[in-house]
Homo-oligomer: A and B are copies of this chain.
Amino acid sequence: MSLVIVGSLALDTIETPKERKERIIGGSCSYAALAASYFTNPKIVAVIGEDFPAGIIDLFKQKGIDTRGVTKEYGKTFHWEGRYGSDPNQRTTIKTELNVFKDFKPRLPKDYCNTDILFLGNIDPDLQKDILSQARSPKLVAMDTINLWIENKPNSLLKVLEQVDVFFANDEEVKLIADEVNLIKAGNKLLKKGPSLMIIKKGEHGALLMGKDFVFGTLAYPCENVIDPTGAGDSFGGGFLGYLDKVNSFKEADIRKAAVYGSVMASFTIEDFSIERIKSLGAEEIDSRFNEFKKLVTF
């Protein structure tokens, strides 16, 4: 099968209580594509500025990522600056410089249009809708979002939601969109608005999958040293969809396994800054962690 990922390639400045890292590689597309690359050969659509390191595009290519959908524009790459408190669940955005991302009008290259799976990473819902109209007849469409769009473009967001199969959001976002404090009720409410699968990301509490007729949960990996949580959700999405693309199946049993692989990829991402940990994993460490996730819940 095939997987197209649309999102951001960014330079992030990250501050944690212990360290500050300037202009390191970030963006939903970086994390999702690298996570997916361990299962399939994702094609990516994104925009970069002149300051984006060429070496990273080379790295993507080495990992089997199709980068023909990456356009380079005059100007600077999208830059996000954030700070984590001593509790890594607490994140403050210090600065968002859209730069070349401001006028990003993502175009799917011709041979991307027949993709089987389309992952609409977190960008403006109007752009997500536009990309969706460029894809011919994807078997599965997934979308991600953030608070910003829920608050500023709720109607656009709901329109995209109508057309997607899988909706990734964190628990607060799900409650916010559904206007409902009970997470299960909120999830069920959104299942009536389009998607057939809700993937609710809960940070250190794992993820909850709500389908039309099943509920499945994964735990987060018990990690003592969360270095940088940035990209955990995107890595989850990439691992999840990459696995489904690999096994060429959307059956419940495979969706469950895909969610665990998503959790596995997220668990690696947070063990270091940026893409450091996730850029060079071995198949054995992925399998070994998959088995650890099994042990976590076996009774």
Query: What chain B residues lie within 8 Å of A257 (beta carbons)?
Result: 299
One of B87, B184, B298 near A256 (C-beta < 8 A): B298
Q: Within the assembled complex, what's the spacing in Å between the Cα atoms of A25 and B294? A: 40
Query: What chain B residues lie within 8 Å of A222 (beta carbons)?
Result: 184, 208, 210, 215
The reply to whether B182 and A216 form a contact with Cβ atoms under 8 Å apart is: no
Interface contacts beyond A216-B296, A217-B296, A297-B297: sample of 19 additional A-B pairs, CB < 8 Å, sorted by A = A88-B181, A182-B225, A182-B226, A183-B204, A202-B205, A205-B205, A205-B206, A206-B219, A208-B219, A208-B222, A210-B222, A214-B295, A215-B296, A216-B297, A217-B219, A219-B219, A253-B299, A256-B298, A256-B299
The reply to whether A224 and B182 form a contact with Cβ atoms under 8 Å apart is: yes
Query: What chain B residues lie within 8 Å of A299 (beta carbons)?
Result: 216, 218, 253, 256-257, 259-260, 294
In the complex, A86 has a CB within 8 A of chain B: yes
- Tallying the copies of this chain within the complex gives 2
The reply to whether B86 and A188 form a contact with Cβ atoms under 8 Å apart is: no
In the complex, A185 has a CB within 8 A of chain B: yes
Seen from chain A, the residues whose Cβ lies within 8 Å of a Cβ on chain B are 86-88, 181-185, 188, 202, 204-206, 208, 210, 214-219, 222-226, 253, 256-257, 259-260, 294-299
Query: What chain B residues lie within 8 Å of A217 (beta carbons)?
Result: 206, 219, 296-297
The reply to whether B224 and A185 form a contact with Cβ atoms under 8 Å apart is: yes
Interface centre among A88, A188, A208, A260 (most CB of B within 10 A): A208
Q: Within the assembled complex, what's the spacing in Å between the Cα atoms of A260 and B223? A: 22
Which 8 A-B residue pairs are closest in the complex by CB-CB distance? Answer: A205-B205, A256-B299, A297-B297, A87-B181, A217-B219, A184-B222, A215-B222, A184-B224
